[in-house]
């Protein structure tokens, strides 16, 4: 959950594992309800690179998982190919439905996946662009300037 103001300070709730994610979420104005309303929900999602390399995945916390893709927190396909833009997702109440949809999409031809994305997001806009106060590249550039 997001923090609460108490006596002019931010109180960080128990269970916060990644302080960067907490602070970005807190400063971006996403309310505790908005961020945690997905509890008990699962998502099948597609992230893409600028050159439209696609990655299909499943998660129980879309906000956190996209954050991990953006910050390249896990070595692998999405980090190697810079798949960090959320271009499509669906919400499910049960994990079995989300996993079944992931498997279905992974079995599709690329052209069918592109048609699915473009049916709801023709401009390939990053659907998570307003979720975080800073983009990783901007944050890294700022840190580099401060250190030099």
Which residue range is the domain that position 16 belongs to? 4-35
Q: Do 44 and 31 fall into the same domain?
A: no
Q: Are 18 and 71 in contact (CB under 8 A)?
A: no
**Same domain (yes/no): 87, 48:** yes
- Pick the more confident residue, 134 or 59: 59
Reference 70, options 91, 92, 55; nearest CA is 55
Torsion of CA 75, 107, 117, 96, to 10 degrees: -80
Across the chain, what does the average pLDDT equal? 78
Does residue 124 have a pLDDT over 70? yes
Look at residue 129 in the predicted model and tell me its pLDDT.
87
CA angle (113 as vertex; 55, 119 as ends), nearest 5:
120
Checking if the pLDDT of 137 tops 70, the result is no
Same domain, 75 and 16: no
In terms of domains, do 80 and 31 share one?
A: no
Express each pLDDT in 40-77 by its tens digit.
Answer: 799 999 999 999 999 999 999 999 999 999 989 889 99
- Count of structural domains, the chain: 2
The pLDDT score that the predictor gives to residue 136 is 62
- Asked whether the predicted pLDDT for residue 131 surpasses 80, the reply is yes
Which tops the pLDDT comparison, 129 or 113? 113
pLDDT above 90 covers what percent of the chain? 56
The residue among 84 and 39 whose pLDDT is bigger is 84
Mean per-residue pLDDT, 116-127: 95
Instruction: State mean pLDDT over 10-20.
Output: 47
Are residues 66 and 135 located together in one domain of the fold? Answer: yes
Q: Verify that 48 and 22 share a domain, yes or no.
A: no
Angle between helices 19-28 and 62-70 (to 10 degrees): 110
CATH of the domain at 53: 3.40.1440.10
> Per-residue pLDDT averaged across 85-111, rounded?
97
């Amino acid at each position: 959950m997001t923090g609460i103001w108490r006596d002019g300070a931010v109180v960080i709730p128990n269970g916060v594992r990644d302080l960067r994610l907490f602070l970005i979420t807190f400063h971006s104005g996403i309310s505790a309800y908005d961020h945690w309303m997905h509890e008990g929900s699962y998502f099948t999602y597609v992230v893409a690179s600028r050159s439209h390399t696609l990655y299909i995945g499943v998660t129980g916390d879309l906000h956190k998982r996209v954050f991990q893709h953006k910050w390249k927190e896990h070595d692998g396909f999405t980090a190697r190919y810079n798949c960090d833009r959320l271009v499509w997702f669906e919400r499910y109440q049960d994990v079995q439905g989300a996993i079944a949809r992931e498997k279905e999409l992974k079995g599709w031809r690329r052209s069918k996946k592109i048609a699915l994305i473009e049916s709801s997001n023709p401009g390939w806009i990053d659907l998570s662009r307003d979720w975080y106060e800073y983009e990783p590249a901007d944050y890294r550039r700022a840190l580099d300037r401060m250190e030099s």
